[in-house]
Every structure is written in structure tokens, then in C-alpha cells.
Amino acid sequence: MSTAEKTFSKGLEGVIAAQTEMSFINGTEGILEYVGIAIGDLASKSSFEETVFLLWNKRLPTKPELEQFTADLRSHYTLCDEMVTQIKSCPIKAEPMHVIRSMISMCAMYDENPNENSVEAARHKSMRILAVAPAIVAAFDRHRRGLEIVKADPSLNFASNFLYMLNGEKPTDAMVRAFDICMITHADHGLNNSTFAARVVISTLSDLYSAMTAAIGSLRGPLHGGANEGVMKMLNKIDSVETAEAHVMGMIKNKERIMGFGHRVYKAKDPRASELMTLAKQLAEDTGNMDLYNKSHAIEKIMEREYASKGIYPNVDFYSATTYHCIGLKLDLFTPMFVLARIAGWAGHVIEQLEDNRLFRPTTDYIGPHNAPYTPIEKR
């Protein structure tokens, strides 16, 4: 193909770079499916563990299979003593996203065969990373608060265990279910930036830990996973429901970005936002945070009036911020929650990449000069 025939797509928009059986997105109609199953059905009927099995195996598990998968996951919950020591050595002012990125990378040093890239090895490594990631986040948060680190409880499911390790007490059923649904809705989302980063790294036949570390680094950005923190910061600046209109319209007038709205893919309401809106309202009622929810709902109505005609609707970050706040998470733990969930998707995509690998090597469109003269330094 000649240079003239090649096309340039800024940000690779519209470019198909991989094939997957994991998640399907129809942005025009607001559809998200995991292996063909609507996200709403999974959020209301499934569990995070079952959803991970679905993504990694492209089918729902039988009861014995789910029990075995869950048992395997729980068997890897506990951090080794060396990892705990490393977490305790982290500065208490460190950002949790920097900590989890560094600690996941460090996991490679405690793997006897860190560079093995068979599909089966990738599955085992992914299981271990998925299992210990919650312990890393919880342990660091307790360390920086001057609290004793709580060991994992293998009798608890993924959601319960994380909240137990974080708070040192068993969570309520409502909080567990809320967190579980958040994990399900964030588990995978096509070839997003962080997933692409993971696939690019593993396509070099590097190692799973490097791929996961790259993905976490990508997710940290405010244009990707860091957006939910921006939503909460915006909500905190609005004193009440009554002042929401003036605040938002002021932001619009000043051409400030309204965090939690709009999506590169969706031109209809993000289906994950629909699930989280209902969840956020229930949690707000249970935890005495209805003022926060009402501010969120007021902002959504304003944005619907102003921008729905342009295809700008709430995305998954908008109501996940309210949900995480109601669960009791600190603001800088919001994006790490995205990591805990998206490890499932990243791992599934890495496995797919290894099953039929080809090195990612796109080209560039050179727009610089040609035949430029070299000027000796004494004449510059």
C-alpha cells in the first residue's frame, strides 16, 4: 500500500485493532454485552466471580465449575510477608494508584516463572493478581491511616473480603452487593485505552506483570479511569441541590468539562450508568447520603436538557462516584476500585492475544520536512 493510500485516524478512532469474544458495545443504542449477555442481566443476576469466569472462558460456569473457580481465587487472597513489608515501606503520602501499579509489578519477583507466556500460565498468573490486588489496596490504605493490616478471609467472596480488609469489620449485605455490581459493570469494555495498552505489551511476548502494569498506568489518567475522582470533586463543590443549576451552567459558560458525561463510544446513555444510578440511590438512602444523590440527579437533568440532543449522557463514572462514597471509600481509592474490576478484562484480553498473537506495530504519518540541511553548531 502506498503512502497516499494509507489513512490516518487521530487517537486510532474507528480503527479495528483486535478481535474479541469478551464484550460487545453498540454506542448508538447504548448496549453492552459480555459474551452476548446484557450487562443489566449480569448486574442483577450474576456475581463478580461468575462474571470473571464468563470473560475468561467465554461461557457461564456450571455450579461445580464456579465453586472450583471461587475456591482457587480465594486460595490466593493472602499477601506474602515480603509484599506486606514492601507495602509498609511505602510513603504514607503516596497515591494509591502509584502503589498498586508498583506492587503489581513487584509480584513478578515472587513468581518462579514470571516470563512464562503460555495461555495456561497466563490464566494462573491472572488469578493470583486478581486475588491479591484487593489486599494490596486495603493494606496500603490501613498502613497510611496508622492501622493494623487486616489479613484476608478466604471464607468471604471477593467483594466482602475487600471491604472487610479495608474496614476491619464485616460489611453489610447492601454494601457487598453494591460493590459486587460495581465490579461487574467495570470488568470489561472493549478495546479501551488501558486494555489496548495491555494487549500491546503482551504482543511483544513480554510478561503478564508488565502488561498489567502498563494497563494500570493508562487507567490512572483523568481521561480514562481517573474520571470518577473528578466527578466527586465536582459534587463536593456544589453546596446543595438548589445551587446545582447555577454551578453547572457556570461551568458550561466557562467551557469547563463536566466530569462523568460523554463517552468516546456511547452516543446514548451508558448502560452501566443506568445500573449504577439505581444502585446509588438505594445506597444513598441506606447510608444517609441522599443529598449527594439528589445533587447527582439534578446535574444529570441539567445535562440532559443542555446536551442530550448532542449525544452526551452520563457515563459509568458519574454514578460510580456516588456509590463509592456511600460505601465509605476515600476519594483517592475510587480509581483503584476500577483497577480491581478491570484486571478481569485485561487478563481476558491478554489471554486472547496470546492465543493468536501478532506484534502490534502501527505506522506513523510523517509530516516533517525532507532534505533539510545540517547546520554546523558554530553557525547556529
Please give the Cα distance from 260 to 297 (Å, whole number).
12
DSSP class per residue in 344-362: HHHHHHHHHHHHT------
In 3D, which of 221, 189, 225, 223 has the Cα closest to residue 321? 225
Catalytic residue among 263, 297, 325, 349: 263
Amino acid at 263: H
Catalytic residue among 180, 188, 270, 317: 317
Half-sphere exposure of 356 (CA within 13 A, CB side): 5
Strand ranges, E, within the chain: 23-26, 31-34, 37-38
37-38: strand order across its sheet: 23-26, 31-34, 37-38
DSSP one-letter code for 108: G
Is 317 labeled as catalytic in the residue annotation? yes
Q: Are 142 and 90 in contact (CB under 8 A)?
A: no
Those residues with Cβ within 8 angstroms of residue 178's Cβ, 6 or more apart along the chain or in another chain: 279, 282, 283, 323, 326, 327
In 3D, which of 151, 133, 137 has the Cα closest to residue 48? 133
Please give the Cα distance from 300 to 265 (Å, whole number).
19
Q: Are 326 and 178 in contact (CB under 8 A)?
A: yes
> Residue 26 — φ and ψ, nearest 5°?
-115, 100
Q: Are 251 and 221 in contact (CB under 8 A)?
A: no
The helix/strand/coil state of 147 is coil
Residue given cell 510478561 in the structure block: 207
- Taking the CA atoms of 104, 110, 115 and 120 in sequence, report the sign of the dihedral they define: negative
Is 263 labeled as catalytic in the residue annotation? yes
Please give the Cα distance from 372 to 190 (Å, whole number).
43
Q: What residues act catalytically?
A: 263, 317
